[in-house]
Amino acid sequence: NRSQALDFEVRCDDFNVSFYDSGMPSEYRSSLTVLEQGKPVLHKDIIVNDPLRYKGINFFQSSYGSLSPKEITLKFTSRATGREYDQKALIGEPFDLPEDKGTFMLKGYRPSFSFRGNNLGEIFIANVTPKHQDPVDIILPLRFPEFDRMRKGDFIVSVSNYNPSYYTGLQVTRDPGVWVVYSGFILIILGCYITFFMSHQRLCIEVAQSGKKSKVMIAGTANKNKVGMQNRVKKISEKLKSV
């Protein structure tokens, strides 16, 4: 493997991913722009199996991944009163719980998490420190907002809103021998046509002097369509007889 410098640049302007109801991705699409000397010369949205091709270089949509959202809105529901509190949070920054019940901090984000053999999908990991108690780590699945109810804490915590962020993965390929492959493919097609649809024929004519007359002998060979060769020899013979 070796790196190869390109005489142009590729910029990803946007990336979008859509999902089925099951949470599996249905399509991911990258919006790419080719730049030469800082000026855009080509723009194309690529998806899987529909790459951007430019100057012999192919850019395929290969993969994607999830990034940690920058800002999340959490909902705290008091188990005692049912009152709801909305709180904006950033990962790694602690804040006080409502009603002076302790502190709370988002620790991280995972695009997938398995709990008791079940895939919960995207989750946030948080740390709750109730007042005068030891800290507890909890998980907040995005698809199951009532999941934290099992913890039986002072508040039921769920994620009410967040802006997902994704990154795109591109595969770059170059195939300098593609025209050699195409040429070989064309030759194979021609060879098959000649082999299966064309007949190799040979026609021999011998003229011999017989007194004041001439004797003409006609013979032909063919690797295919021998009946056709016989008819051809017969037609030539009939024409010679009429001369």
pLDDT tens across 99-133, in order? 999 999 999 998 888 888 888 888 999 999 998 89
- Find out whether 31 and 17 touch, Cβ atoms under 8 Å: no
Domain ranges (residues) in the chain: 9-66+166-182, 72-163, 200-241
CB count within 10 Å of CB 96 equals 12
pLDDT value for 84: 95
Task: Tell which wins on pLDDT, 158 or 56.
Answer: 158
How much is the CA Rg of the chain, to the nearest whole Å?
Answer: 39
Q: What confidence tens digit (pLDDT) does each residue in 145-193 have?
A: 999 999 888 999 999 998 888 899 999 988 777 778 889 999 999 988 8
- Find out whether 145 and 135 touch, Cβ atoms under 8 Å: no
> pLDDT > 70: what percent of the chain?
99
pLDDT value for 1: 63
Q: Which amino acid is at 101?
A: K
CB count within 10 Å of CB 162 equals 18
pLDDT value for 230: 86
Q: What confidence tens digit (pLDDT) does each residue in 68-86 have?
A: 787 899 999 999 999 999 9
Q: Is the pTM for the entire model greater than 0.75?
A: no
